[in-house]
Chains A and B, each alone.
Chain A
């Protein structure tokens, strides 16, 4: 359908489990447990909402949030307030969720991400702390088990500002790219494990459309039940044309929550809001205001480090790598480290990238990477000096990798076998020994009268036959180009 003349407005709300040993307000273990048989193993009177219990804030979660806030440039409020969000549901033990409302710990900030190979920024509204709810297991007989293992697990809510897209922009992909980048930020900073399968990273987008140029927002729809990035993209890509079609045909749009129906490939109404939900928020009287000290902020700053976005950008800007290469390296801590170590020794960036994404990744994925970046540096130096050719280089690297942990010395101590030793052992050092090569070429010429005659008669292609003979004689170790050069010179071929 024709969607021109419209704009898409999207806001994203992410709930990410904070990486802590214990829950947000009690000392129960905070971990993901999914088996029904292990329901309610990490519970205590506090997270079960027994009469008389009180919450005590897990300060570690505050520290983690501050790291993220420092990275994303959020304004950290020295004094923030916890609030109660009141509603009834069996998975909510206290009948309210402790969260932050009008005084969150952090506001503002920006998530930088790559989409379509270019950088883009998505502004944040706020980042705050709260607790997760439990979970219902529905039983075949129609009953249900309430599992409170998740109840009280620390969550970070990261809310974006609405972002406006043209309808012909890949807005769905932009959302996925934003989420992917944010997830990596969280993982790299040690703030969350970002595990989507475990439900530790969840996103609820809200989307509306409006005529291009209008300043008022359209009717907002919240999307739920999106358990992967691809369903999120599909749901958004379904929802936008649906809303535009409704407007075009004069239908009424409702402010509502819609769920993604994977089987039908469409969104469907879950809950309609004639008025906004009334959660009767008020300040949590059981917790004093959260006061963040200068020291906590400073400590968080020391824990800020590069995330894949930073690495990607550097690889693009400083090393001119192709985006795909840069991204792949940046998304692996190991490859990023190797890249830095190898390039710093003077290796050419693109070559290093090829090796990292080729050989190094191959061994790594097999769980057999034992070589150090130094080994690759030596191999690449030998290659650059034309001591070895590419296929030999690969063989040397493979053997260096395999020999890494081999212990064959007399002393019994582990010894690192260096590529230079392998090259020597393989007899590959003669390669740039011009005198040695000339002698072998002379032998080949002497042994191939017929071929030499053909070449002299003008069949220059026959040079390759001589090259082959030399290669055979050197067990493939000679540099073919050098050999060809010598042959041509000796036989006077132009």
Chain B
């Protein structure tokens, strides 16, 4: 069983499929390990017991479609994705006790394909943050060093996958929330094209950029999960999923023939990067060149305005999306007769500092008199960024950059300095502004030191054209092959596994 815990989902699903292993048996073992590893990592707001985990989960593989799916593999689900009859909080006090009456579409599709939910993963409250320290309940630790953050906001999902608590996890990515923690934890994190996966049941943060994403220990596993979840959804008008077989696509390197890669100059300036991040980026570029890929530098000048643009748009949408948490209908209850005071009480007690900061900022940028100067201007910049990225991607097939300019930082290091925290998103937000697919791949480690015998992981970000999800995954898998980089078991997890 020990081997199986660290196995890929592709292998598990294949074993389940031919009856060599029972999903129930594996779920039991996986849950047991997750519980054991949990005190050091704190990846989960809640690890489900077997009955909860199997609620509404199909017993047999779904052979309705030709695509190979992710049968039987337990999934960690970020706690901003609704799970029917299982408390879902978005790591906010205001939703404490909220039990959704429905499954998010992606969760439903996984259950229908036979995937149990192992637990609800921790996150920055409502997805707002880059370190998972903004969870109203507790921060999650980086499996590579519990004194470091796992990144965010899908920090729980990333830490769970990296610490072998789950083979695959769902996250959500509004400005890098899947890719950044994937980079910090040394795993693969994929944010599909906006519209590839249904957002129905994903607790909204910034609707025009939110997208469900997948965290796994290999690109193939990501593709299997995508095959399970990518389907048109009549409940999401912005969902335009197709029926592409992404698992087949990642095995097929032929489609990459002649592919050109552009390194985004503005996101890769050495002076803005930690030395190991820079070194590993260069090594990645070299590996690609050695494999015969045309790698060139491309410029996307407006990347320099992306962070400001992103924080205006995300706060504006968040201020509206979070208005429904008023204590009237669910979650925290309003008390007392005075309506205005009731709202103030509930929202003051229910929301954390970062959420309040964003609601205030968002309300401000949408207000009469400021709308033109902030929100509307940000929209204009967003369109321009999209055009510049489109232009760059007309010239090359993929853009690359580091996922994060820095190595994982320490718990508490940036929590009192929001601007510094926001700067961690600098490389990832452009992807969401343009609605493009983006993936973060392990691309090496920092040099080992006394505290980190294997070093700390770094991530390579790849960006592609909208709806080029099959090709970006194929290229990611190709990169895994040529670079030899991939998931490495963190020392802390190795120890746990050895026990």
The answer to whether A and B belong to the same complex is yes
Enumerate chain A interface residues (CB-CB to B < 8 A).
45, 48-57, 84, 86, 88, 90, 93-96, 142, 146, 275-276, 278, 280-282, 285-288
A119 to B58, CA, bound (A): 67
- Write out the residue numbers on chain A whose beta carbons fall within 8 Å of the beta carbon of B200: 52-54
Closest to A142 in B: B337
Which of chain B's residues has its CB closest to A46's CB?
Answer: B235
A52-B202 CB under 8 A given contacts A45-B102, A88-B343, A146-B328: yes
- A275 CB → nearest B CB, Å: 8
Return B312 CB to nearest CB of chain A, in Å. Answer: 11
Q: Which residues between 281 and 309 of chain B lie within 8 Å of chain A, taking CB atoms?
A: none
| Cα-based distance from A96 to B317 in the complex (angstroms) | 12
Residue numbers in A under 8 Å from B104 (CB-CB): 52
A52 and B326 contact, CB distance less than 8 A: no
Provide a sorted-by-A list of 23 A–B residue pairs whose CB atoms are within 8 angstroms. A49-B329, A50-B102, A51-B95, A52-B81, A52-B199, A52-B204, A54-B199, A54-B236, A56-B235, A84-B320, A86-B320, A86-B366, A142-B337, A146-B328, A146-B329, A275-B368, A278-B367, A280-B319, A280-B366, A280-B371, A282-B317, A286-B204, A288-B237
B368 touches A55 (CB 8 A): no
**Contact assessment for B323 and A94 in the assembled complex, using a CB-CB cutoff below 8 Å:** yes
B330 within 8 A of A: yes
Closest to B340 in A: A88
Closest to B198 in A: A54
Known: A52-B202, A86-B323. 9 other contacts (CB 8 A): A45-B100, A50-B330, A52-B104, A88-B326, A93-B329, A95-B323, A95-B326, A285-B317, A286-B207
Q: How far is the CB of A56 from chain B (nearest CB, A)?
A: 5
B98 on the A face (CB < 8 A) = yes
Chain B residues near A146: list those with CB within 8 A.
328-329
The chain A residue sitting closest to B94, CB to CB, is: A51
Q: Is A50 a contact partner of B100 (Cβ separation < 8 A)?
A: yes
Cβ of B201 < 8 Å from any Cβ of A? Answer: yes
Asked if residues B324 and A282 are in contact (CB atoms below 8 Å), the reply is no
List the A side residues contacting B366 at CB < 8 Å: 86, 280-282
For residue A82, give the distance in angstroms from its CB to the closest CB of chain B.
10
User: With A and B bound together, what is the CA distance between A93 and B329 in angstroms?
Assistant: 8
B117 contacts across to A, CB distance below 8 A: none
Least CB distance, B197 to chain A, in whole angstroms? 13
Query: Could you tell me which residues of chain B, from 47 to 80, have a CB within 8 Å of some CB in chain A?
Result: 80
Complex: A186 Cα to B330 Cα, angstroms? 38
A119 to B207: give the CA distance in the assembly, Å. Answer: 49
Shortest Cβ distance from residue A109 to the other chain B in the assembled complex, whole angstroms = 28
Count of chain B residues with a beta carbon within 8 Å of a chain A beta carbon: 45
Q: 1/0 per position for B185-208, CB-CB distance to A under 8 A?
A: 000000000000001111110111
Any A CB within 8 A of the CB of B388 = no
A59 CB, min distance to chain B CBs, angstroms? 11
- B238: contacting residue among A90, A142, A280, A288, CB under 8 A: A288
**B375 contacts A282, C-beta separation under 8 Å:** yes
Interface contact B204-A49, CB-CB below 8 Å: no
Please give me the residue from chain A that is nearest to B363 by CB atom. Answer: A280
Residues on B with C-beta less than 8 A from A280 are 319-320, 363, 366-368, 371
In the docked arrangement, what's the CA distance between A53 and B316, Å?
A: 19
Q: Which residues of A contact B339 (CB under 8 A)?
A: 90
- State whether A88 and B323 are in contact (beta carbons under 8 Å apart), knowing that A52-B104, A54-B236, A56-B235 are contacts in the complex: yes
Q: Is the CB–CB distance between A96 and B101 below 8 Å? A: no
Q: Which residues of B contact A (CB under 8 A)?
A: 80-82, 88, 90, 95, 98, 100-102, 104, 199-204, 206-208, 234-238, 316-317, 319-320, 322-324, 326, 328-330, 337, 339, 343, 363, 366-368, 371, 375
A287 to B371, CA, bound (A): 21
In Å, the complex CA distance between A96 and B324 comes to 8
Do A278 and B368 touch (CB < 8 A)? yes
A residues less than 8 Å from B363 (CB atoms)? 280
Most chain A CB atoms below 10 A, which of B95, B316, B323, B367: B323
A54-B320 in contact given A90-B339, A280-B367, A285-B207 (Cβ < 8 Å): no
CB-CB < 8 A to A285: which residues of B?
Answer: 206-208, 238, 317
Note all chain A residues with C-beta closer than 8 A to B206: 285
**A residues near B330, Cβ cutoff 8 Å:** 50-51
A86 neighbours in B (Cβ, 8 Å): 319-320, 323, 366
Question: Of all chain B residues, which has the CB nearest A146?
Answer: B328
A55 lies within 8 A of B375 (CB): no
Known: A56-B237, A88-B323, A93-B324. A282 touches B316 (CB 8 A): yes
Q: Are A48 and B329 in contact (CB under 8 A)?
A: yes
In Å, the complex CA distance between A52 and B77 comes to: 14
Q: Find out whether the CB atom of B320 lies under 8 angstroms from the CB atom of A51.
A: no
Distance in Å: Cβ of A24 to nearest Cβ of chain B: 13
Chain A residues positioned under 8 Å from B236 (CB to CB): 54, 56
Complex: how many Å from CA A54 to CA B199?
8
Bound complex: CA A96 to CA B100 (Å): 21
Q: Is B337 a contact partner of A51 (Cβ separation < 8 A)?
A: no
Distance between A51 CB and nearest chain B CB, rounded to angstroms:
4
Task: Give the docked Cα–Cα distance between A287 and B238 (Å).
Answer: 7
Q: Smallest CB-CB separation from A82: which chain B residue?
A: B237
**Contact indicator A55/B207 (Cβ below 8 Å):** no
A86–B201 Cα distance when bound, in Å, is 22
Q: Which residues of B contact A45 (CB under 8 A)?
A: 100-102
CA of A219 to CA of B337 in the docked complex: distance in angstroms? 35
Complex: chain A residue closest to B362, CB-CB: A280
Question: Nearest CB to that of A53 among chain B residues?
Answer: B200
A53→B199 CA distance, assembly (Å): 8
Residue of A nearest to B89 (CB): A51
Q: Decide: A96 and B329 in contact? CB cutoff 8 A.
A: no
In the assembled complex, the CB of B148 is this many whole angstroms from the nearest CB of chain A, namely 30
Which chain B residues border A276 with CB–CB below 8 Å?
Answer: 368
Q: Say yes or no: A51 contacts B100, CB within 8 Å.
A: yes
Residues of B within 8 A of A93 (CB): 324, 329
- Beta-carbon contact of A52 and B368 below 8 Å: no
- Would A51 and B375 count as touching, CB distance under 8 A? no
**How far does the alpha carbon of A90 sit from the alpha carbon of B346 in the complex, in Å?**
13
Q: Which of B203, B208, B317, B319 contacts A52 (CB 8 A)?
A: B203
Chain A, residue nearest B88 (CB)? A51
User: What is the distance, in angstroms, from A46's C-beta to the closest C-beta of chain B?
Assistant: 8
Bound-state CA distance A146–B328 (Å) is: 9
CA distance A301 to B411 in the complex (A): 65
How distant is the Cα of A286 from the Cα of B366 in the complex, in angstroms?
Answer: 17
Q: Which single residue of chain A is at the shortest CB-CB distance from B322?
A: A95
Given the known interface contacts A51-B98, A52-B100, A54-B199, the answer about A90 and B237 at a Cβ–Cβ threshold of 8 Å is no
Q: Which residues of A contact B81 (CB under 8 A)?
A: 52
Q: Across chains A and B, which 9 residue pairs bring their CB atoms closest together, nearest first? A: A95-B323, A285-B208, A280-B366, A285-B207, A52-B201, A51-B203, A49-B324, A278-B368, A52-B203
How far is it, in angstroms, between the C-alpha of A48 and the C-alpha of B324 when the chains are bound?
9
Q: Which residues of B contact A56 (CB under 8 A)?
A: 234-237
B237 touches A50 (CB 8 A): no
Write out the residue numbers on chain B whose beta carbons fall within 8 Å of the beta carbon of A286: 204, 207, 237-238
User: Smallest distance from the beta carbon of A49 to chain B beta carbons, Å?
Assistant: 4
Q: Which residues of A contact B337 (CB under 8 A)?
A: 142
Cα-based distance from A56 to B238 in the complex (angstroms): 9
A52 to B207, CA, bound (A): 10
Q: Which residue of A lies closest to B104 (CB)?
A: A52
Bound-complex Cα distance A288 to B207 (A) = 12
Q: Which of B101, B208, B316, B324 contacts A95 (CB 8 A)?
A: B324
What separation, in Å, do the CA atoms of A56 and B236 have in the docked complex?
7
A90 to chain B: closest residue by CB: B328
User: Once the chains are docked, how many angstroms separate the CA of A57 from the CA of B235?
Assistant: 10
Residues of B within 8 A of A142 (CB): 337
